[in-house]
Chain A
Amino acid sequence: AQKVTQAQTEISVVEKEDVTLDCVYETRDTTYYLFWYKQPPSGELVFLIRRNSFDEQNEISGRYSWNFQKSTSSFNFTITASQVVDSAVYFCALSNAAGNKLTFGGGTRVLVKP
């Protein structure tokens, strides 16, 4: 069975601070995919990134960066110089090898105060 744990339920920061969201996963598959989604206050889910299990390179996209470490089964997400618009719930998710089912973590609510 697959499992995704986001231990932080809520993080509050002041604008321009960095914030790191933790994600730990469990799977028996050797091939799998990891995702991050953002859910702003409006409620829709927005895809941020996908990473396959064979690609451990870290990735940076603007103020967002992701750190994938298979040795610790973690896929952490950092927002650098946070902005009020980053306030949202962020979900980490894990897909099976076939890519046809996605298991979500419980989500981390990020509140960025001005």
Chain B
Amino acid sequence: DAGITQSPRHKVTETGTPVTLRCHQTENHRYMYWYRQDPGHGLRLIHYSYGVKDTDKGEVSDGYSVSRSKTEDFLLTLESATSSQTSVYFCATKKDTWNTGELFFGEGSRLTVL
């Protein structure tokens, strides 16, 4: 258990509004990730971070931005939410050992865009 907390856990918003999801970890893990889970698609990587202020895009990054100003926090922002971004969002972390790959996941944040 990497002590990962996601907030909010549930959110309903309207198309065009900005949304920020927060991921907070207490284990000082170097890597942090944002995934989205949709039926039939499994989990798809949105963005990830390999250190403070170091981020990179995943396979479905369009429409999303991230920031990591502190080791423990990784923010996911939807600048202008669309209905296609209705999903369950999972944050994950990984220890700073390059060859393990095991991720620890948060409990998920369910976002509904009307």
Contact = CB atoms under 8 A, between A and B. Distances in A.
Contacts of A102: 33, 45, 92, 101, 103
Interface residues of A, number: 23
A104 B108 CA distance: 16
A99 B43 contact: no
A80 to B, nearest CB: 24
Contacts of B103: 45, 47, 102
Given A91-B43, A104-B43, A50 B31 contact: no
B90 interface: yes
B40 A106 contact: yes
Given A35-B101, A98-B98, A99-B99, A45 B41 contact: no
A54 to B, nearest CB: 11
B48 A101 contact: yes
Interface in A38-67: 43-45, 47, 50, 52
A99 B42 contact: no
Nearest to B38: A106
Interface string A80-93: 00000000000100
A99 B33 CA distance: 13
Interface string B14-55: 000000000000000001010100001111110010100000
6 contacts: A35-B101, A47-B102, A99-B101, A100-B94, A104-B44, A106-B41
Interface of A: 4, 6, 9, 33, 35, 43-45, 47, 50, 52, 91, 95, 98-107
Interface of B: 31, 33, 35, 40-45, 48, 50, 58-59, 88, 90, 92, 94, 97-105, 107-108
